[in-house]
Structure 1
Amino acid sequence: MKKRRNAGRGSGVLALIMMLAVWLSGCSGGAPAATKPEPAPAPAPAAGETKQASAELPPVELQYYFAANVQNLKDLPLVEAEMNKIVKAKINATVKLNAIDFAAFDQKMNIKSASGEPYDLVFTAPWKNNYFQNVAKGTLLPLDDLLAKYAPTLKATVPAKIWDATRVNGKIYGAINWQIVAMAYGVSMPKMWVDKYKIDINNIKSLKDVEPYLAKWEEKWPAYHGGENKFTQAPPFFGFDSVGDDASVGWVRLNDKDLKVVNQYESPEFKELIETTYDWRKKGFIPPDAVLYTDEKRLADQKAGKTELLLSINGPAPPGVENAEKQKIGVEIVVKPISKPLITTNRAIATMTGISKTSQNPERAMMFLELINTDKDLYNLLCNGIEGKHYKMVDKTKGLIEKIPDSGYNPSTDWMFGNQFNGYYTSPESVGNWEKTIQMNAEGEVSPLLGFNFNPEPIKSELAQVSSVWKEYSGALMTGSADPQTKYPEFLDKLKKAGADKIIAEKQKQIDEWRKSK
Structure 2
Amino acid sequence: MRRRGLGIVLLILAIGFVSGCSNDQDQPASPELTKPIVKLKVIMPGDESDRMRDFVNNELNERLRKDLNTELDFTYIPWANYQQKLELALATGEKYDLFWYGTPFVSGYKTKGYIQPLDELLAKYGADLTKNIPADNFKLDQIEGKQWAIPSQAFTSAGKFTSVMVRQDLLESVGMTEIRTIKDLEDFYAKMHAKDPSYYGYLETDRGQEVLWRELSDNNYTALDERQLFAVDEATGEMISYLETDLYKKVAHVRESWVEQGIIDKNLIGNPASKIDQENAGKLLFRVGAVSRAMENLQTAQKADPRAKLREYYLAPGKLKYILAPSNEAYMIPTAAQNPERAMMFMNWILKNKENYTFIIYGVEGKDYRLENGKIKLLTNDQLMYEWMWRNKNYFTAPTNVDDEVIEDMLTNDDNARISRLFGFHFNEEPVKSELARVMAVYKMRFEPINTGLVNYDDNFQEALASLKKAGYDKVFAELKKQYSEFQASAGDK
Measured against the shorter chain, the TM-score band is: 0.7 to 0.9
Partners of 1:226 and 1:478 within 8 A in 2: no
Partners of 1:462 and 1:503 within 8 A in 2: yes
Partners of 1:240 and 1:251 within 8 A in 2: yes
Instruction: Establish whether residue 505 from structure 1 lines up as the match of residue 478 from structure 2.
Output: yes
Partners of 1:178 and 1:421 within 8 A in 2: no
Tell me the distance in 2 between the aligned counterparts of 1:223 and 1:488: 28
- Aligned-residue offset at 1:369: 1.2
Matches within 5 A, 1:85-104: 85-104=62-81
User: Paired residue for 1:26?
Assistant: none
Moved more, 171-180 or 443-452: 443-452
**Residues 379-419 of structure 1: CA deviation (Å, up to 9, x unaligned):** 33432334444x23133x725232324xxx31472122574
User: Paired residue for 1:315?
Assistant: 289
- Aligned-residue offset at 1:356: 0.8
- Aligned-residue offset at 1:226: 4.5
Partners of 1:166 and 1:349 within 8 A in 2: no
C-alpha change, 1:401 and 1:269, in structure 2 (3 Å) is: same
2:420 maps to amino acid: S
Structure of greater relative contact order (alpha carbons < 8 Å, 6+ residues apart):
1
Instruction: Establish whether residue 464 from structure 1 lines up as the match of residue 437 from structure 2.
Output: yes
Partners of 2:360 and 2:385 within 8 A in 1: no
User: Paired residue for 1:147?
Assistant: 122
TM-score (norm 2): 0.79
Tell me the distance in 1 between the aligned counterparts of 2:412 and 2:123: 27
2:126 maps to amino acid: A
C-alpha change, 1:305 and 1:288, in structure 2 (3 Å) is: same
Partners of 1:414 and 1:423 within 8 A in 2: no
C-alpha change, 1:302 and 1:63, in structure 2 (3 Å) is: closer
Q: 1:175 aligns to what SS in structure 2?
A: coil
Tell me the distance in 1 between the aligned counterparts of 2:197 and 2:408: 42
- Aligned-residue offset at 1:160: 1.8
Of the candidates 255, 258, 273, which is equivalent to residue 235 of structure 2?
Answer: 255
Partners of 2:56 and 2:72 within 8 A in 1: no
User: Paired residue for 2:376?
Assistant: 400
- Aligned-residue offset at 1:77: 4.4
**Residues 40-70 of structure 1: CA deviation (Å, up to 9, x unaligned):** xxxxxxxxxxx85954876422111111234
Instruction: Establish whether residue 194 from structure 1 lines up as the match of residue 171 from structure 2.
Output: yes
User: Paired residue for 2:139?
Assistant: 164
Of the candidates 326, 330, 335, which is equivalent to residue 298 of structure 2?
Answer: 326
What stretches of structure 2 of length at least 5 have no aligned partner? 1-28, 303-307
C-alpha change, 1:373 and 1:160, in structure 2 (3 Å) is: same
Of the candidates 453, 462, 473, which is equivalent to residue 426 of structure 2?
Answer: 453
2:334 maps to amino acid: S
Tell me the distance in 2 between the aligned counterparts of 1:419 and 1:285: 35
Matches within 5 A, 1:108-507: 108-126=85-103, 130-184=105-159, 185-199=162-176, 201=178, 204-205=180-181, 207-216=182-191, 217-218=193-194, 219-221=196-198, 223-231=200-208, 237=214, 239-243=220-224, 245-247=225-227, 249-256=229-236, 259-295=237-273, 297-302=274-279, 304-306=281-283, 308-309=284-285, 311-312=286-287, 315-318=289-292, 322-330=294-302, 331-337=308-314, 338=317, 339-344=319-324, 347-389=325-367, 391-395=368-372, 398-405=374-381, 409-411=382-384, 413-417=386-390, 419=392, 422=395, 424-427=397-400, 429=402, 440=413, 444-473=417-446, 475-507=448-480
Q: 1:99 aligns to what SS in structure 2?
A: strand
C-alpha change, 1:438 and 1:426, in structure 2 (3 Å) is: closer
Tell me the distance in 1 between the aligned counterparts of 2:460 and 2:359: 49
2:310 maps to amino acid: I
C-alpha change, 1:388 and 1:143, in structure 2 (3 Å) is: same
- Aligned-residue offset at 1:440: 5.0
Tell me the distance in 1 between the aligned counterparts of 2:58 and 2:156: 32
Tell me the distance in 1 between the aligned counterparts of 2:384 and 2:149: 22
Give the structure with higher Rg (CA): 2
Tell me the distance in 1 between the aligned counterparts of 2:67 and 2:311: 44
Tell me the distance in 1 between the aligned counterparts of 2:167 and 2:403: 18
- Aligned-residue offset at 1:420: 7.0
Tell me the distance in 2 between the aligned counterparts of 1:376 and 1:53: 29
Moved more, 332-341 or 357-366: 332-341
C-alpha change, 1:200 and 1:425, in structure 2 (3 Å) is: closer
- Aligned-residue offset at 1:102: 1.0
- Aligned-residue offset at 1:139: 0.7
1:352 maps to amino acid: A
Q: 1:211 aligns to what SS in structure 2?
A: helix
User: Paired residue for 2:9?
Assistant: none
Tell me the distance in 2 between the aligned counterparts of 1:374 and 1:443: 31
C-alpha change, 1:353 and 1:277, in structure 2 (3 Å) is: same
User: Paired residue for 1:40?
Assistant: none
Partners of 2:107 and 2:426 within 8 A in 1: no
Tell me the distance in 2 between the aligned counterparts of 1:452 and 1:334: 31
User: Paired residue for 1:8?
Assistant: none
Tell me the distance in 1 between the aligned counterparts of 2:419 and 2:489: 19
Percentage identity across paired residues of the two chains? 24
User: Paired residue for 1:516?
Assistant: 489
- Aligned-residue offset at 1:426: 2.7
